[in-house]
Amino acid sequence: MPDRSPTLHMLCGKIASCKSTLAAELGRSDWSIVISEDAWLQALYAEEMREVADYMRCTSKLRSVMGRHIAALLNTGLSVVLDFPANTIEQRRWMRGILEQTRAAHVLHVLDVPDEVCLARLRAQNAEGAYPFAASEAQFRRISAHLAPPSPDEGFNVVVHGGGA
C-alpha cells in the first residue's frame, strides 16, 4: 500500500448550509470515505427520531461506537470525511478525541452561509423529500442558536467556505 497521509475532514455549519454537498465533493478523492450521520441515524433510529431530544439521544449512541471505527479507518491510511456536525465545542471535542487516536491530519471546514440562504435551501429540500430528516424553520432556529464557531484555542486547521445563493 502506498504511503499516504490520511486526513479527517470535519464540517461546521447550519442546517442546509450544504455540509453534505461538500462532504460528497471531498469524498470523491482517492482513498477517502464519507461517513454520514444522517444515513446511519436513518438506518438505525428512523422510527425513534421525532424531536431534537431524540436526535441527541440517538447521535450519542452512534458516536459512542463510531469514534474507534473512524480512528481505525484513519490509521489504515484512509481519509475520512465526517459528515457529522462540528457545530459545538462538545461535538468538536468528540472529533478531537478521534484525532488523538491517530496520526492523521485534519481540516475543519466551516460553512459560513446566511440564515436566509439556509432557510431557502431547507424549504426546497423539505419539498423535494430528498433528505432523511426534514427540519422545520423553528427547529432550524433552535439548533442554529447552539452553533459555536471554532475558536483558535481549539487548535483546528480551519478552512472557511463562504456561501451565497
The residues, any chain, with a CB within 8 Å of residue 163's CB and separated by 6 or more, are: 13, 17, 18, 111, 112, 113, 114, 117
Instruction: Look at residue 132 in the predicted model and tell me its pLDDT.
Output: 66
Instruction: Look at residue 3 in the predicted model and tell me its pLDDT.
Output: 57
Mean pLDDT split into 10-residue runs, the chain, 165 residues: 80 94 94 94 89 88 95 96 96 97 97 94 86 80 92 96 71
Instruction: Look at residue 56 in the predicted model and tell me its pLDDT.
Output: 87
Instruction: Look at residue 50 in the predicted model and tell me its pLDDT.
Output: 81
Q: Are 114 and 16 in contact (CB under 8 A)?
A: no
The residue to which cell 422510527 is assigned: 47
pTM summary value: 0.89
Instruction: Look at residue 69 in the predicted model and tell me its pLDDT.
Output: 96
Report CA dihedral (143, 13, 43, 95) to the nearest 10 degrees: -100
For the chain, domain boundaries? 7-162
Query: Under CATH, which number does the domain 7-162 receive?
Result: 3.40.50.300
Instruction: Look at residue 70 in the predicted model and tell me its pLDDT.
Output: 98
Give the closest residue to 114 by CA, choosing from 158, 147, 82.
147
